[in-house]
Structure 1
């Protein structure tokens, strides 16, 4: 990945931060984009301290014009864009599908599907010939969770987005793939073990991890770095004949045919 240029959304924490570290460690110049500039800057600093090359950028991925401008700016600065990793996403609401209101649905679609469409569009317009787009999906599309419809429905759309765009961009040598994480220890999953005051509760953490691990053949949750390793693989030349695919990083919790 030496001297290749990558944009990573949601780079301020979790899988985004780990992906920035992985790509920079392999020699890429990394743009760490996040709605929270402070955390994006922290990621860039961590990368640079380790000898990598990164800079931070505040970016609202639900704003199509802002995302397009950011990607164009990267291309103008470096003369290329080799990797677009659409990592940003979050559970925006929970509750039964029957009671899901329009606002909850719109927020889920905006952050977890439309923003990835915008990222793919922006990258496709500047990549020219060759490049890799990596979208982050979710294990919830393989094992439906009753109160996560506003999250899992958009994430299911990400799979079709990936397939459609892989077909369209293949002739230009641009590969498009999805990484679908299972139960990964991130800030999002940490919400399950906070007490009433919002502070982490280690006993709740132990109980939650134990409960989640029961259905995982490898017997444990995953780490962000384990997902980032697959993002790095898909970004690089080792995946030169891989496109339109979903790679599940889930410890075996779901094994579709």
Structure 2
């Protein structure tokens, strides 16, 4: 379905990002993805994709670096020979802290990774992406179910969702679709690292489908949006949550 397509995925070495990279490669796209620090995890993704006959290339990048996102896009375009698909998946979280006690530096870092980098990659794509391209931004159910202590994270994802809405309207005349996917509780290292077991049991009990999401559940939604069947969907926020809203 994606043969000949060139894709960039940020945060592609683990969890949801890895599942997205593997899904796009299985569908025939060539993918450049970023990772922050875990070189072995990134190398494992490349090996897995290559063993399946696909093409993936890992780039180590600090998305908080103001010049990093645009340099990534230039590098990826040169490596791939163009740009058809952009998936902004990378995100950082922070220790839950009341707003009154949250350091401004924490807010700045979360916004830099989760929102500013998305703005910069979309800005580049708006100039360089081929007509008929696809942009998908990964948000969170927390924007509609906010919890105490995660103000910077929720603010950053809210900004991402609004960038999606604007970009969909600006890029629509070129046939480029822009959508958000908002996962619910998904079985990843990040989820387990930031939530106690009792919280995960509680959210599973509240989810109509009765389980945590799997990274592949989210990746398959992304695969639909960037493939030919997603051509008539733009400006939407698809909540991949197992029914939790």
Q: Which moved more, 1:29-38 or 1:182-191?
A: 29-38
Shift >4 Å, 4+ stretches: none
Q: Does 1:152 align with 2:144?
A: no
What secondary structure is seen at the aligned counterpart in 1 of 2:67?
Answer: helix
Contact 2:132 2:174 survives alignment (8 Å): yes
Q: Distance in 2 between matches of 1:238 and 1:64?
A: 35
Asked whether the 8 Å contact 2:184–2:242 carries over to 1, the reply is yes
Say which SS state the counterpart of residue 222 (structure 1) adopts.
coil
C-alpha contact 1:94 1:150 (8 A) present in aligned 2: no
* 1:71-82 equivalences in 2 (<5 Å): 71-82=73-84
User: 1:53 corresponds to which residue?
Assistant: 55
Which of 228, 231, 239 pairs up with 1:240? 231
What is the aligned partner in structure 1 of residue 21 from structure 2? 20
What are the equivalent positions in structure 2 for 1:175-254 lying under 5 Å apart?
A: 175-192=177-194, 205=197, 207-254=198-245
What is the CA deviation profile of residues 126-163 of structure 1, one whole-angstrom value per residue up to 9, with x for unaligned ones?
Answer: 11322001100001001110111111111111111100
CA change 1:45–1:167 in 2 (3 A) is: same
Q: CA RMSD in A?
A: 1.5
Aligned to 1:92: 94
Gaps of 5+ in 1: 194-203
Change (3 A) 1:112 1:78: closer
The normalised TM-score by structure 1 is: 0.90
Structure 2 regions of 5+ residues with no counterpart?
A: none
Task: Answer yes or no: is 1:32 the counterpart of 2:33.
Answer: yes
Count of matched residue positions in the alignment of Structure 1 and Structure 2: 243
Displacement, 1:37?
5.5
> 2: CA distance between counterparts of 1:40 and 1:221?
24
Indicate if the aligned counterparts of 2:30 and 2:80 stay in contact, CA closer than 8 A. Answer: no
Aligned counterpart for 2:136 among listed residues 124, 134, 137: 134
CA distance in 2, matches of 1:57, 1:223: 25
